[in-house]
A and B are shown apart, each in its own frame.
Chain A
């Protein structure tokens, strides 16, 4: 069964450093998303991406965040200058169309020290 993969599973970084989180969505899915979940809190939407463009982004997704589909298979989330409050689980998700069910990857646990 096709699944979403994410690397790394755990990333530890120093405050102010750049991190890139990587995702390989399911191959025939065209809509891609990033969500995050701070420990003990709700899953929060960050950004949706379709046809190589951001479709929608949340207030959390400020200028420090960017997304890219560099090679037609990977989907990346970059945080330019990490803050302590960026520590969270980051989930990539995908869907065939925007109103269909979304399938989540296993997540990357980001720890900012």
Chain B
């Protein structure tokens, strides 16, 4: 069974701090990984994706991938109260586009 695991949290950080969100996956064949943000009652909103080992930066967000450890992370710098949401990690499971999602980590950024 291919799985993606996340700590459900909540992860609480003060405004301006770095938030670190982590994800592990079971299928070594997964090649691409996606981070989505989901506000309560809303749909997943794409933040960024990564498919190469190492870091990928986009504004305040940095995704990190370590395929040997089957580990993906998302760093949010200068966290803002508006970043408070659930962050979903997803692995591309097959060449048909099937995404396997983790249960999400709830982030709370306190002013």
Q: What residues of chain A have their CB less than 8 Å away from a CB belonging to chain B?
A: 31, 33, 35, 41-45, 48, 50, 55-56, 58, 89, 91, 95, 98-99, 101-107
Task: Give every chain B residue within 8 A of A95 (Cβ-Cβ).
Answer: 97
Binds A, one of B43-51, B57-65, B74-82: B43-51
B97 touches A55 (CB 8 A): yes
Range for the number of chain B residues in contact with chain A: 20 to 34
Point out the residue from A33, A43, A107 that lies within 8 Å of B97, measured CB to CB: A33
Given the complex, which residues of B lie within 8 Å of A99, measured CB to CB? 31-32, 92, 95, 97
Residues of B with Cβ closer than 8 Å to A? Answer: 31-32, 34, 36, 42-46, 49, 88, 90, 92-104
The answer to whether A42 and B101 have CB atoms under 8 Å apart is: yes
Name the residue among A41, A98, A101 with the largest chain B CB count within 10 angstroms.
A101
Is the beta-carbon distance between B100 and A45 smaller than 8 angstroms?
yes
Given A31-B97, A45-B99, A48-B98: A101 in contact with B43 (beta carbons within 8 A)? no
Closest partner residue, chain B, to A103 (CB atom): B46
- List, sorted by A's number, 7 A–B pairs whose CB atoms are closer than 8 Å: A33-B99, A35-B99, A48-B98, A50-B97, A56-B96, A56-B97, A99-B31
Task: Choose among B36, B45, B96, B97 the residue with the greatest number of A CB atoms under 10 Å from its CB.
Answer: B97
Q: Are A104 and B96 in contact (CB under 8 A)?
A: no
A107 to B44, CA, bound (A): 9
Of all chain A residues, the one with the shortest Cβ separation from B31 is A99
